[in-house]
A and B are shown apart, each in its own frame.
Chain A
Amino acid sequence: MSTVLDRFGTVADPLVEINGLTVAFDGVKVLHGIDLSVARGEAVGLVGESGCGKSVTWLAALGLLPKKASVSGNVRLGSTELIDAEPDVLDTVRGGRIAMIFQDPASALNPVLRLGKQVGEALALHGGLSGAAIRAEARRLFDLVGIPDAARRLDAFPHELSGGQNQRVMIAMALAGKPDLLVADEPTTALDATIQAQILELLTKIRRETDMALVLISHDLGVISQTCDRVCVMYAGRIIETAEAQSLFDTPLHPYTQGLIAALPPLEGVRRRLDPIEGNVPEPWNLPPGCAFAPRCPRRGEACDAGVPPLAWKAPGRFAACIKALQAEPVRPREPVYA
Chain B
Amino acid sequence: MLRFFFLRLGRAALTVALVVTFAFVVLRLSGDPALIIMSVDAPPEAIAAFRKAWGLDDPIWLQYLRYFSAIGQGELGQSMRDGRPALELVAERIPATLALTLPALALKLGIGIPAGIYASLHRDSLIDRIVMVTAVAGFTVPSFVLGLVLVLIFSVQLGWLPSGGQESWRHAILPVLTLGIGGAAVLARFTRSAMLEVLGQSYIRTASAKGVPWPAVVRGHALPNAAVPTVTIVGFMVGSLIAGAVVVESVFSWPGVGRLLVVSVANRDLAIVQCILLLVAITMVSANLIVDLLYGVLDPRLRSGAKAGAH
Instruction: Judge whether B307 and A92 touch: CB under 8 Å.
Output: no
Chain B 185-203, CB-CB to A under 8 Å as 1, else 0, gives: 0000000000000000111
Bound Cα distance A126, B211 (Å): 8
Interface assignment of A52: CB less than 8 Å from any CB of chain B: no
Interface assignment of A140: CB less than 8 Å from any CB of chain B: no
Minimum distance in angstroms from A5 CB to a CB of chain B: 28
Question: Could you say which interface size class chain B belongs to?
Answer: 20 to 34
Instruction: Judge whether B213 and A95 touch: CB under 8 Å.
Output: no
> CB-CB < 8 A to A91: which residues of B?
211-213
Minimum distance in angstroms from A255 CB to a CB of chain B: 35
Give the interface centre of A87, A110, A156, A161 by most chain B CB atoms within 10 Å.
A110
Chain B 253-265, CB-CB to A under 8 Å as 1, else 0, gives: 0000000000000
Bound Cα distance A163, B78 (Å): 63
Bound Cα distance A96, B306 (Å): 33
Bound Cα distance A170, B206 (Å): 9
> CB-CB < 8 A to B299: which residues of A?
111-112
B213-236 residues with Cβ-Cβ distance < 8 A to A are: 213-214, 220-221, 224-225
Instruction: Judge whether B207 and A157 touch: CB under 8 Å.
Output: no
A74-94 residues with Cβ-Cβ distance < 8 A to B are: 87-88, 91-94
Tell which of B209, B300, B307 touches A111, judged by Cβ atoms closer than 8 Å. B300
> CB-CB < 8 A to A100: which residues of B?
209
Query: Closest residue of chain A to B222, judged by CB?
Result: A110
Minimum distance in angstroms from A65 CB to a CB of chain B: 10
Tell which of B208, B209, B210, B221 touches A113, judged by Cβ atoms closer than 8 Å. B221
> CB-CB < 8 A to B203: which residues of A?
107-111
Query: Closest residue of chain B to A123, judged by CB?
Result: B210
Interface assignment of A174: CB less than 8 Å from any CB of chain B: yes
Chain B 290-311, CB-CB to A under 8 Å as 1, else 0, gives: 0000000011110000111111
Interface assignment of A54: CB less than 8 Å from any CB of chain B: no
A93 touching B202 in the complex, CB below 8 Å, given contacts A110-B221, A162-B310: no
Interface assignment of A152: CB less than 8 Å from any CB of chain B: yes
> CB-CB < 8 A to A126: which residues of B?
211
Instruction: Judge whether A159 and B209 touch: CB under 8 Å.
Output: no
Minimum distance in angstroms from B107 CB to a CB of chain A: 28
Instruction: Judge whether A157 and B214 touch: CB under 8 Å.
Output: no
Interface assignment of B52: CB less than 8 Å from any CB of chain A: no
Chain A 106-147, CB-CB to B under 8 Å as 1, else 0, gives: 011111110000000110011000000000000000000000
Minimum distance in angstroms from B205 CB to a CB of chain A: 6
Question: Could you say which interface size class chain A belongs to?
Answer: 35 or more
> CB-CB < 8 A to A197: which residues of B?
none
Query: Closest residue of chain A to B299, judged by CB?
Result: A112
A64 touching B212 in the complex, CB below 8 Å, given contacts A113-B221, A159-B300: no
Minimum distance in angstroms from B300 CB to a CB of chain A: 4
> CB-CB < 8 A to A176: which residues of B?
210
Instruction: Judge whether A125 and B211 touch: CB under 8 Å.
Output: yes
Instruction: Judge whether A109 and B210 touch: CB under 8 Å.
Output: no
Instruction: Judge whether B214 and A87 touch: CB under 8 Å.
Output: yes
Interface assignment of A9: CB less than 8 Å from any CB of chain B: no
Query: Closest residue of chain B to A100, judged by CB?
Result: B209
Instruction: Judge whether B205 and A94 touch: CB under 8 Å.
Output: no
A112 touching B298 in the complex, CB below 8 Å, given contacts A95-B210, A125-B210: yes
Tell which of B209, B214, B224 touches A112, judged by Cβ atoms closer than 8 Å. B224
Instruction: Judge whether A107 and B224 touch: CB under 8 Å.
Output: no
Instruction: Judge whether A95 and B225 touch: CB under 8 Å.
Output: no
Minimum distance in angstroms from B181 CB to a CB of chain A: 31
Bound Cα distance A27, B300 (Å): 42
Instruction: Judge whether B208 and A94 touch: CB under 8 Å.
Output: yes
Instruction: Judge whether A177 and B210 touch: CB under 8 Å.
Output: yes
> CB-CB < 8 A to B307: which residues of A?
155-156, 160
> CB-CB < 8 A to A215: which residues of B?
none
Tell which of B202, B206, B213 touches A87, judged by Cβ atoms closer than 8 Å. B213
Chain A 142-180, CB-CB to B under 8 Å as 1, else 0, gives: 000000000011011101111000000010011011000
> CB-CB < 8 A to B310: which residues of A?
159-162
Instruction: Judge whether B300 and A112 touch: CB under 8 Å.
Output: yes
Q: List 30 A-B contacts (CB under 8 A).
A: A64-B205, A91-B211, A91-B212, A91-B213, A95-B209, A96-B211, A104-B202, A107-B201, A110-B207, A110-B221, A111-B203, A111-B225, A111-B299, A111-B300, A111-B301, A112-B298, A112-B300, A113-B220, A121-B212, A122-B211, A155-B307, A157-B300, A157-B306, A159-B301, A159-B306, A159-B310, A160-B306, A160-B308, A160-B310, A174-B210
Given A102-B209, A173-B206, 17 other A-B residues pairs in contact with their CB atoms under 8 A:
A87-B213, A87-B214, A91-B211, A94-B210, A95-B209, A99-B210, A102-B205, A102-B206, A107-B201, A108-B202, A113-B220, A122-B210, A122-B211, A153-B308, A155-B308, A173-B210, A176-B210
